[in-house]
Amino acid sequence: MIPILIVAGPTASGKSRLALALAQRLQGEIVSADSRQVYARLDIGTAKPDREELERVRHHLIGIIEPEERYNAGRFSREAAAVIEKLALDGKTPLVCGGTGFYLQALVKPLFEEPAVPEEAKTRIRIQLSRRFESEGGETLHRELAAVDPDTAARLHPNDFQRVGRALELYYLTGRTLSGHFRLAKAAAAYRAFTVLLDPPDKSLKENIRLRARRMLEQGWAGEVEALLAAGVDPRAPGLQSLGYREIISQVRGEISREAAFEAIVGRTWQYARRQRTWFRNRPAELRLDPAEADPDRIVSLWRSQLEKFDGKGGRWPGALKN
């Protein structure tokens, strides 16, 4: 199995900064596990690494699809696996960094094989769900999902129709929930995953979210969105469902002020961060840290010592380490 170092945590917790520091010390490369940074031309609003950071450390799976395309955990796990295997062959440390918990789970745990369903049945259900989303709203579909699959509903926002609709579609077509399919999946772990989870206090996380949102606006987020719309990208495109883009679209259309967009983005980002924290707190991690206490040199030392202690019989390490 290939040893991989994972840096995970909620949005605006400092994952990218820590991952860069670790990658430089380990002569590694970063594999992004961010479901929004995969989109090309969505740079400011998805907090992609800047040019200087990309020059310091090579990154993978960033800006690889257009805003009109869809991307999912299954595709991520396949493409990330290919990158990780290549890095391992080259003698480099694969460092996976991101806050999309479902992607990380898909990488270190097996994805289920979707049952064969006629395409016409899929299309019919998708159209029905899409029409209901337009007429009844996301809250209704989200409550419907929560009634049959509370685990999946807990990590999804009511307005995330792409994922809520997908989970309902699977349930109505197969009679089994998305979380149920994953519980039934069986396969051997491919990686020795050592996870560093950043878990900042509420106060500092809220402050970071506000600071980052303000910085994004100052960097020209509105101009980025204007360019996308001018290039013909549909506001309903999957990429433009990314966190904050709906508010910026409303701003550039003159429907709300810049300050109103800012406050709405901060509020939605905080809600998203809380859901991420709930997800990660219910998942195992070898090291849980307040970002203020995350010392890259100490983490590298622990990583190397754990490599030596790993018993080679399973996909986990000998036990979680104390902070």
- State the Cα–Cα distance between residues 74 and 18, nearest whole angstrom: 26
SS (H, E, C) the chain: CEEEEEEECCCCCCHHHHHHHHHHHHCCEEEECCCCCCECCCCCCCCCCCHHHHHHCCEECCCCECCCCCCCHHHHHHHHHHHHHHHHHCCCCEEEEECCHHHHHHHHCCCCCCCCCCHHHHHHHHHHHHHHHHHHCHHHHHHHHHHHCHHHHHCCCCCCHHHHHHHHHHHHHHCCCHHHHHHHCCCCCCEEEEEEEECCCHHHHHHHHHHHHHHHHHHCHHHHHHHHHHCCCCCCCHHHHCCCHHHHHHHHCCCCCHHHHHHHHHHHHHHHHHHHHHHHHCCCCCEEECHHHCCHHHHHHHHHHHHHHCCCCCCCCCCCCCC
Q: Report the binding-site residues for ATP.
A: 9-16
> Rounded to an integer, what distance in angstroms lies between the CA atom of residue 33 and that of residue 77?
9
Question: What does the block give as tokens for 285?
Answer: 């991690």
Annotated binding site for substrate: 11-16
Annotated binding-site ranges: 9-16
User: Residues near 253 by Cβ (< 8 Å), separated by ≥ 6?
Assistant: none
